[in-house]
Structure 1
């Protein structure tokens, strides 16, 4: 009897599992077609493809994926790249590079198979961001982006790989869906730029980094809707003309160039790096609310240019990326910028290459009071210049409400303190130095230490 009861219980459990499975499958099959596809499109493509095992109905649903595809190299490729850098001996490096090339080809083949499997009519985004090594099927990938009417397109095939964006592919079919374009180390011809300005009415963000561009760029168009323009280290650029009524944010890193901002009534955020000093004469600066300056390439005439600064009447947030070094360029720049910003509410200083040797205290001229309400020091390590700068703000910013000291590793590893390896950054030691300053902070001012 016990054996019979046991068999009956097992049979009962099996039937229950079958009924549950059938019920679950039935629930899945009852979902409207658009809902599962919408759910899958919010997942990474590899996770979306795994759902093919859920039920018969879901087996091919992933092929209608319409979200964002991101191809930035396989995990194996990334690990192998690190190992190649660590390898000792040229022969070993060459052998590992051959293996890396084989893995890269496998990854490229997988991309082609995946793209060929997709049946969607549109895609939200498409990103190729890895070193391809050879031309392979790049034109086919770009054509795929156009055919699928992607809204966000990001392309980078390696800094040493020369790729000219093919105008004929874009002219072959309408590409009026494009909203975001990010290109790195890609050649953009004058004709290609004109196409984006005239034939992409939804384009709001355009970022060109380390790219070959025309010597003269004209950012204008009757249907131009551009809101954000980024030009970073496009060294061929000599002349820039902008007529963009909807432009809100402008970023430029690079050498000096002739500029003409004909119409930028909506521009409120600007970021400059490199030899950007000529921009201080631009009339649009009076309307800027957020200004970010990278002066890590401290040039001798920097302080002179800063003495010529116009008044930033509407500036609310100023961010300065700098090297707090022995020549005090950064400290003087800091004081001049504060003086030129009577309405400033928030100031962020990101410090790189700070000399941790305690020097003689710096003396500032106490000329005016600031309306600053929030101060943020990033990359703090307790150097004398940093402490003196903090004391200067406490004495002159009469409306100060919050101080944030971030002692974590600065954001640009390539520019970190000379000879310092990331593992030698003593976060806890710097944090302790920061906490020692708390006694100097008046009550009523919020103090945050990270």
Structure 2
């Protein structure tokens, strides 16, 4: 939801209707308005926060109905974000206005429970008093999904970040809240201490999703406990020293290391973990990949985010992944690198069904000759998708390998996407050149395989 309460109202969007239509709409509105209060509140609770507040203009009876909703309280001001990005001096005034708007809306809300509470704005520790009050209100209303996203609009990270309040979760705290209703906790650019994380895990018996992005205070992540209900864990932090997982109900895990020399993910007990995403900003992703997959033979989906700017990665041996069906590589690279060193991962997945490669070109490319590695023929790989295709060595050689391996390939999708920094004229030239190179793949396709060029 954007801006203050008035900004939720549609502006210049009302179409003129015939008198007959206006009369029918009025009759329908009157019929709905005659429904019991509880039913109307239930209907509004199924709407978005923005939609629910907009109904306050319908009539006097509807004016405050939204304030009894038990659905989502969603606070975001994308227009202010855009204005601040163009005028950096307006950040202070923008924060002041946003805080005032949230305060007014929360003071007006009468509902005893809410399903979701979400705040997304450029806030830091200077706004702590207000954010603490908001979190307290959400917890008092037994919120199920709590989301705080304080990404700096100007991408400056020198201000002290907001720290999640210990006084609400520590066992010794006087104003501790009951967290048993919490199902999802999503904290982005919010500091969380090791002690706070431990308390959250022990105090939220039904927590199913935990997202922590860019917390500066976390160093030891230990998600361990036989009674944990946690199903989805997403960690994107730097300077971690420990990352241990023992969660019998965990289904998906995402770990993005934003610093050099991050810890291995030690998994002891995660029999249901079938989807893993791994990303590394500085380290080769392979140093996390090999030990992790060795302990997860049940893995079905693997997504890798990596940077390649030199020769490439080499993984000479890899544990067999007989259950792996979906493999995705997101690669920031230049044409001097090679992905062929990772083909051992594909070879270790004999029943792989879908492979997707997304290339993000971050450096000017240099021409080199394509290399070749032998591929073991396989009948199970049916779908291949290449995004960011140029037809240079790095993507041509991996496509040649895949076409040689996938003897029963059904479909290959190619999306030619040139360098984002190119001028408009050069952009179109590069795109057309990439499309022509993609067309040249047709004679190399297995029989009955379709080539789709986006």
- TM class, shorter-length: 0.7 to 0.9
State which of 253, 265, 268 in structure 2 corresponds to 1:262.
268
* Secondary structure at the counterpart of residue 287 of structure 1: coil
Residue 154 in 1 paired to residue 147 in 2?
Answer: yes
1:336 deviation in Å? Answer: 1.8
Give the equivalent residue in structure 2 for 1:144: 137
* Secondary structure at the counterpart of residue 285 of structure 1: coil
Q: Which digits, 9 at most, give the CA deviation of each residue in 1:124-183, with x for residues without a partner?
A: 211112112532511111111211211111112244342221121235220211111111
Give the equivalent residue in structure 1 for 2:358: 350
Q: 2:425 & 2:327 partners in 1: Cα distance?
A: 30
Larger Rg: 1
Give the equivalent residue in structure 1 for 2:102: 111
**Contact conserved, 2:387 with 2:417, CA < 8 A, in 1?**
yes
Specify whether residues 78 and 205 from structure 1 end up closer, same or farther in structure 2 by C-alpha distance, changes over 3 A only.
same
**Contact conserved, 1:213 with 1:237, CA < 8 A, in 2?**
no
Equivalent residue runs for 1:76-225 within 5 Å: 77-84=80-87, 97=89, 99-132=90-123, 134-135=126-127, 137-157=130-150, 158=152, 159=157, 160-170=159-169, 172-225=176-229
Equivalent residue runs for 1:391-402 within 5 Å: 391-402=400-411
State which of 280, 304, 323 in structure 1 corresponds to 2:290.
280
Specify whether residues 161 and 68 from structure 1 end up closer, same or farther in structure 2 by C-alpha distance, changes over 3 A only.
farther
Give the equivalent residue in structure 2 for 1:406: 415
1:373 deviation in Å? Answer: 1.1
Structure with the bigger percentage of helix: 1
Structure 1 gaps of 5+ residues are 1-12, 85-95, 410-415
State which of 47, 50, 54 in structure 2 corresponds to 1:50.
54
State which of 238, 243, 262 in structure 2 corresponds to 1:240.
243
Give the equivalent residue in structure 1 for 2:307: 296
Residue 338 in 1 paired to residue 349 in 2?
Answer: no
**Contact conserved, 2:180 with 2:204, CA < 8 A, in 1?**
yes
Q: 2:98 & 2:81 partners in 1: Cα distance?
A: 12
TM-score (norm 2): 0.82
Q: Which moved more, 1:267-276 or 1:346-355?
A: 346-355
**Contact conserved, 2:317 with 2:344, CA < 8 A, in 1?**
no
Q: Which digits, 9 at most, give the CA deviation of each residue in 1:356-408, with x for residues without a partner?
A: 55532322224554631111101112224323332332222112111111234
Q: 2:133 & 2:234 partners in 1: Cα distance?
A: 27
Q: 2:222 & 2:133 partners in 1: Cα distance?
A: 29
Q: 1:267 & 1:360 partners in 2: Cα distance?
A: 40
1:198 deviation in Å? Answer: 1.3
Q: 1:258 & 1:357 partners in 2: Cα distance?
A: 34
How many residues are paired up? 413
Specify whether residues 137 and 425 from structure 1 end up closer, same or farther in structure 2 by C-alpha distance, changes over 3 A only.
farther
Give the equivalent residue in structure 1 for 2:441: 437
1:207 deviation in Å? Answer: 1.1
Q: 1:17 & 1:362 partners in 2: Cα distance?
A: 69
Specify whether residues 74 and 286 from structure 1 end up closer, same or farther in structure 2 by C-alpha distance, changes over 3 A only.
closer
Q: 2:180 & 2:210 partners in 1: Cα distance?
A: 14
Specify whether residues 52 and 356 from structure 1 end up closer, same or farther in structure 2 by C-alpha distance, changes over 3 A only.
same
Q: 1:280 & 1:40 partners in 2: Cα distance?
A: 49
Q: Which moved more, 1:319-328 or 1:238-247?
A: 319-328
**Contact conserved, 1:357 with 1:383, CA < 8 A, in 2?**
no
TM-score (norm 1): 0.82
CA-based RMSD of the aligned residues comes to 3.0
Structure 2 gaps of 5+ residues are 1-17, 171-175
**Contact conserved, 2:255 with 2:279, CA < 8 A, in 1?**
yes
